[in-house]
Chain A
Amino acid sequence: MKPIKFFNGELHLTNENNKCKQMNTKKIMECERERLNKLTNFRLPHSFWSIGMAVAAISIIVMFVRAFALDGDTEWLRELAKKGLLIGMLLMSISKDKEEDELTIKLRMQSYAFAFVVGVAYALIMPYVEFGVSNVVHSGGEAYKDLGDFQVLSFMLLVQLLCFHTLKRYR
């Protein structure tokens, strides 16, 4: 095999066979890039927003009914309602806007970035706030405990949805 030459910052192999291989690698990279773009830009149709809203609303109603009207072991129902709420909010979050254009895409990205940062800050600070408040209110108080996944995820989704809605209102 002939030696490898560098030209314009790109790798060029002198062997004809290796040129073909390089072309294939470029095609594969391009294909991978397109696939990644498709995956990251994936959005559900707008109709899923209503479905998500319905799922989230039903889950919240189920949570209230379970807490105030049902007796016995209904822990499974609570877990189901939690999952339902997360799925509902996720559907709302990833469904397209009624008039989806580049501005709404930008606003959605802004809202995700904001929700991510606020969510991480919430997960870091909130356990100490809860710990501090419980110790002030009850003498002795509760032991320190981290937030659960449901609390963090539902908070992040809620912040994203509210932030996106607010940004859209003031666009």
Chain B
Amino acid sequence: MHNTIKVERAILSLTQDDLAKKIGVSRQTINSIEANRYVPSTVLALKLSALFNKPVNDFFKLGDDD
């Protein structure tokens, strides 16, 4: 799975730390998600969706190996 959270974050001019605080996780968790090392839970994905005001599908995409 890959994502475009970094782009979405840049559109809203948010740092990793700002985004982390807004959805109640640590900065390292946002870093891990952006680097595709960690696939977040549905709850976290929906929190991101609400923040970006976009459907989850817009910034999370299935990879070839999924």
Q: Would you call B53 an interface residue if the criterion is a C-beta within 8 Å of the partner chain's C-beta atoms? A: no
Contact with B along A142-171 (1 / 0, CB 8 A): 000000000000000000000000001001
Instruction: Tell me the chain A residues, 2-16 only, with Cβ under 8 Å from chain B.
Output: none
Q: Indicate whether A101 sits within 8 Å of B32 (C-beta atoms), given known contacts A171-B37, A171-B38.
A: no
* Residues on the B chain within 8 Å of A168, using CB: 28
Instruction: Tell me the chain B residues, 26-51 only, with Cβ under 8 Å from chain A.
Output: 26, 28-29, 31-32, 37-38, 40-41, 43-44
Q: Would you call B63 an interface residue if the criterion is a C-beta within 8 Å of the partner chain's C-beta atoms? A: no
Query: Please, which residue of chain B has its CB at the minimum distance from the CB of A169?
Result: B28
Query: Please, which residue of chain B has its CB at the minimum distance from the CB of A105?
Result: B41
Query: Please, which residue of chain B has its CB at the minimum distance from the CB of A99?
Result: B26
- For chain A, which range describes its interface: under 10, 10 to 19, 20 to 34, or 35 or more residues? under 10
Q: Would you call B14 an interface residue if the criterion is a C-beta within 8 Å of the partner chain's C-beta atoms? A: no
A104 close to B26 (CB less than 8 A): yes
Contact with B along A82-105 (1 / 0, CB 8 A): 000000000000000001011110
* Residues on the A chain within 8 Å of B41, using CB: 102
B44 close to A171 (CB less than 8 A): no
Nearest CB in chain A: distance from B51 CB, A:
16
| 10 A-B pairs with the lowest CB-CB distances in the bound complex, closest first | A99-B26, A101-B25, A103-B29, A171-B32, A171-B28, A101-B29, A102-B41, A101-B26, A103-B38, A103-B32
Show 22 residue pairs from A and B whose CB-CB distance is below 8 angstroms, ordered by the A residue: A99-B25, A99-B28, A101-B24, A101-B25, A101-B26, A101-B29, A102-B25, A102-B29, A102-B40, A102-B41, A102-B44, A103-B25, A103-B28, A103-B32, A104-B26, A104-B29, A168-B28, A171-B28, A171-B31, A171-B32, A171-B37, A171-B38
